[in-house]
A and B are shown apart, each in its own frame.
Chain A
Amino acid sequence: MSDQTNGDPLARLGTDAETGETMIELQELTKRFPGQETPAVDRLSLSIPKGEIVVFVGPSGCGKTTSLKMINRIIEPSSGHIIIDGEDVTDIDPNHLRRRIGYVIQQIGLFPHIRIAENVATVPHLLGWDKDRTRERVDELLDVVGLPPEQYRERFPKELSGGQRQRVGGARALAADPPVLLMDEPFGAIAPITRTRLQNEFLRLQTELQKTICFVTHDIDEAIKMGDRIAILQEGSRVAQFATPEEILTHPANDFVEDFVGTGATLKRLKLTRVKEVEPTEALTGRVDEDRETLRQRFDASDWTAMLLLDRENKPLRWLRGPDLRQQDRPLEKAGVRTRALVEPQATLSDALEEMLLGAAGVAIVVDRRGAYRGLLDIDAIITSIQTMKDAQAEYYRAAKLADPEDEVPA
């Protein structure tokens, strides 16, 4: 995912070509449920590169979840082979296999009768880690997923919100640091606002963790946002197209893919670019611990119509206009209007655009993960970015054809 720090799709392609190592290899994987004529998964063959997020997406009933669950053999394949990191795991002890694979499901499935810390410690317990190591790891993970351990360790799942539970679900899956993660619609049951935040956090985390991830969703937008590669599946888990999001949006392999991706491909492309890939502009800022008079002078000297007031930790507080700065009776923290439309660098331009439209301000404030101010993103920046993306694409496809002559487009 580190390749995504660069907005240039060429860079992304280059990295993929470099780390050609395959982590998960599915060979002719087939599942036939008893009493059904057609197989649910029909000879699925797919190579999942190390350190990438591969999204299985398709209409309901296409067999994507069954395919995923065959990787850790929650569903035993009828035939075919699963090779993980060079080892054929089709016939090994499934319990040992599963301890090496993180597993996150939509329903989360936290154990309701034990505390959060014990939930997270499930796999370490199974692997026989000692107490201190387990405890340390649990605290570390709760921190990583943004739940302060001293506050959440001793709670029960029912005391957490849906989003928090899914964070715990993620921490539990990562507990023994498995190289592979399987995620079955992990954000499917979570309220939209929280979902976007979790997606962004998850992507940020992945840039550090570099796990190999299989991710199932029915939502093409989520697939485009999360995937390094997307496998669009048809009935029987037949691969309609297996390619990068860019390629799927610009060069759908067939009518099925085109229908599935749907209209508004240009708008969807905004989901491919992240806020951090666009150069933010600087706002006129003032800090709350500065003198009001200094702020006013700076404001008057500029041609800005508003000044962004930051708190002592550089977090955006208020938008101030001239009259707010001249009025003496109201403390600065309460003058002007509250800042809205805050976006993290990990958010997509589509998220940023939505925030701008909601805030009706035409700008979004870029903040880092701690909420400190980083810059401004205005609607012009988004328009420019769409334009460059279009230009780059032509170049990208020339390069792609050169680098990979056997494009993965099924006949």
Chain B
Amino acid sequence: MSTSLTPPDSSDRVVPTDAERRQTARDEDAAGVRRARRASLVRYLGMPLFLALVLLGLFLWVGTQELDSIEARTLTAENLLGQTRQHITLTLYSTFFVLLLAVPLGILATRPRLRRYAPVIIGLGNAGQAIPSLGLLALLFYLFRTQPALPSTGPFPVVVSLVGYSFLPILRNTMVGLDQVDRFVLEAGKGMGMSNRKVLRSIELPLAVPVVLAGVRTALVLNVGTAALAFLFGGGGLGETIFAGFQLRRTPVLITGAILVAVLALLVDYLAGLIEEKLTPKGL
């Protein structure tokens, strides 16, 4: 920053020409792209590969075991696939219904008129996550058994319980997601003449998507785990295999059931992660 009228020395230094600089930049870009591609391959294929390896390992391990007749009868492909399907169905249904109920309620609860109740609801949501699932299920189990008007077995009580259990986390995340949207972004929208409905649809909801989806993802994983308790209602699912292994003291059965539930939970988490990434607006 010399102000005297003498030429600075910097021009004597060897400076790369523009062409050289451009070439360097291009090389760096290409290397960056390659690195990014490798990283995304690991990210997208890593988890499925890992889960496939775990399943393969489980299959080989069970193959080396001497299975007695009870074990052989429980660990058939037909049996396990059927239970897995039941398990997935229970999870999906309950997640679907909980979204249908909790997301609109979360939106309603953050509208100006109901806003002052929002902290109470968020508090309840936090508390709800602390309730142990087994306790809640036991309560519901008791309720369904003692009320003759309600079906005491089958998928219905299971789905109701799962919805009840994951309701508060999703409600809470919906509200937090809508709440964290920058209020000046909303003011700008309103200031340009967007109606409240338009502000909600084009600004608030898209911007809340990441947080809401994070809640959905958590709820899905929770539901996969909790659906293992569906056998209490005779609702099926992989819980039956686990429980059978536990009660009959058949370790291979117990371990197979447990690993399958864990693999399912991780797979669901992985898929939900992909959906989350896909649905999150690009500019965020």
Contact = CB atoms under 8 A, between A and B. Distances in A.
Interface in A146-166: 156-158
Interface string B1-23: 01111111001000000000000
Interface in A21-54: none
Contact of B188 (A95, A103, A338): A103
A122 B192 contact: yes
B125 interface: no
Contacts of A336: 5, 7
A122 B191 CA distance: 11
Contacts of A107: 182, 184
Interface string A346-373: 0000000000000111000000000000
A113 B190 contact: no
A336 B189 CA distance: 52
A321 B5 contact: yes
Given A95-B193, A103-B191, A109 B5 contact: no
- Greatest chain A CB density within 10 A among B4, B8, B185, B283 is at B283
Interface of A: 72, 74, 94-100, 103, 105, 107-115, 122-123, 126, 156-158, 169, 172-173, 182, 305-306, 319, 321, 324, 330, 334-338, 340, 359-361
B193 A112 contact: no
16 contacts: A98-B191, A99-B193, A103-B188, A111-B202, A112-B284, A113-B206, A113-B207, A113-B283, A126-B192, A126-B198, A306-B5, A334-B7, A337-B2, A337-B3, A337-B5, A337-B8
Contacts of A122: 189, 192, 194
Contacts of A340: 3
B282 A113 contact: yes
Interface string B131-172: 000000000000000000000000000000000000000000
- Greatest chain B CB density within 10 A among A74, A94, A111, A126 is at A111
Nearest to A158: B283
Contact of B3 (A95, A305, A361): A361
B195 interface: yes
B2 A126 contact: no
A113 B189 contact: no
